[in-house]
Amino acid sequence: MFKVLQIFKIKDLRKKILTVAFFLVCFRVLAAIPTPGIDIGRLREFFSNNQLMGFLNIFSGGALENLSMVMLGVAPYITATIIMQLLTMIFPRLKEMYYEEGEIGRAKFNRFSRYLTVPLAALQSYGFLNLLISQNVLPQMNLFILVQSVIIITAGTMVLVWLGELITEQKIGNGISLLIFAGIVSALPQTVLRIITTYSASELPTYITFAVVAVFVIAGVVFINEGERKVPVAYAKRVRGMKMYGGVSTYLPLKVNQAGVIPIIFAISILLFPQFAGQVSAIISKDLSLKLTELVNQFFNNIYIYSALYFALVVIFTYFYTAITFDPKEISKNLQRAGGFITGIRPGASTGEFLSKIIHRITFWGAIFLGLIAILPNLTQIATGVKALTLGGTALLIVVAVALETVRQINSQLVMREYEEI
């Protein structure tokens, strides 16, 4: 309570928080405005029978359920970012731009990601509109109205990307993550209301068990997300002129969940791709699009096959993204240049091998954790048989990770201001 009061006493910090809150309100207003002419009954039926659309709805912040102008949310931007990250492995110039050119290089890299978002959003909106028309959720459209709708939806996605950039500039958290966070949190009251309305006395033990499991899951998410292996690092003493530098001991923090929520987002994008391909194939043939979409739905509606594939993809992408973001050889070189070394390990190649072994070991447990969190809704559904009570593991992980990161950034700004006052 004291810290909250302290935050709002600082004019600059208070202004930043209120600005971020205003942008999030703007997002929720846009997400709540539905597209005219939709069949709400058919729309809800369609969403209830399609798990993959539920994932896409997470990244749209619930806007997809209303078919608003921002129905695609930030999903096209996330897909564009993933594609750009993969391209760094193919094109050395992109890798150099992202990892070696500092803030200027990353700004340029992000600009290319935004450019790529436009055609992806246009393709995705076209395919999705055709899918909804085929399911009788939307009425038939002529070419002019279809092109107009695609332009509006694409523009809506770019508006959200712009809002995300504005939020990031306030240094109160990552803008795109906070938009997803706001969408997930906004659905909580509706979920609680649904649970209350469908309540039955005979299911009381199930509800109690669910509440207990939910508490342990949240605690586990926080524990793993904040867990890290501290590798002790010492710095040799160096004499420069009349001064002595170094001779201190510190540690290198290696997080258990090094990749964060990125592997889950990657896995969801891969799972959504067949559906997306089915939608876009409507350009060639509507019959082909319907057959592909039906085939994909039949395959993924099998909860066991879907869960196994989802778990495997998350584990694979955890190792993949950790390998991209954490380079033991580069870290060992940087330590050697700074005069640092790990006690008992020779600097250089031996240090790189040592760090590689450690990161592979802890990544295994991080990958298993992320995989279990991803399929948690399916596991709770299989265990309880109650669809109304499903712990949204992906949504839960995103909420916890974003909340912790936002609090961390606010605390760092508080500490910085306290330091400046001394």
Domain boundaries, the chain: 1-186, 205-391
CATH class of the region 205-391: mainly alpha
Task: Evaluate whether 1-186 and 205-391 have a shared fold.
Answer: yes
- pLDDT tens, residue by residue, 294-353: 777 677 667 788 788 888 888 888 888 888 777 788 788 877 777 777 777 888 788 888
- pLDDT tens, residue by residue, 183-212: 777 777 776 777 777 767 776 777 777 777
Does residue 55 surpass a pLDDT of 80? no
- The model's pTM: 0.75
Task: Determine the average pLDDT of the residues in 143-153.
Answer: 84
Task: Determine the average pLDDT of the residues in 5-14.
Answer: 74
pLDDT of residue 140: 78
Pick the more confident residue, 117 or 131.
117
pLDDT of residue 118: 92
Does residue 286 surpass a pLDDT of 70? no
**Distance from C-alpha of 182 to C-alpha of 196, rounded to nearest angstrom:** 23
- pLDDT tens, residue by residue, 233-269: 877 666 565 665 555 677 788 888 887 777 877 787 7
Segment among 21-25, 99-103, 123-127, 152-156 with least mean pLDDT: 99-103
Q: How many CB atoms lie within 10 A of CB 42?
A: 14
Backbone angles phi, psi at 265, to 5 degrees: -65, -40
Pick the more confident residue, 354 or 67.
354
Find out whether 144 and 150 touch, Cβ atoms under 8 Å.
Answer: no
* CATH number listed for the domain at residues 1-186: 1.10.3370.10
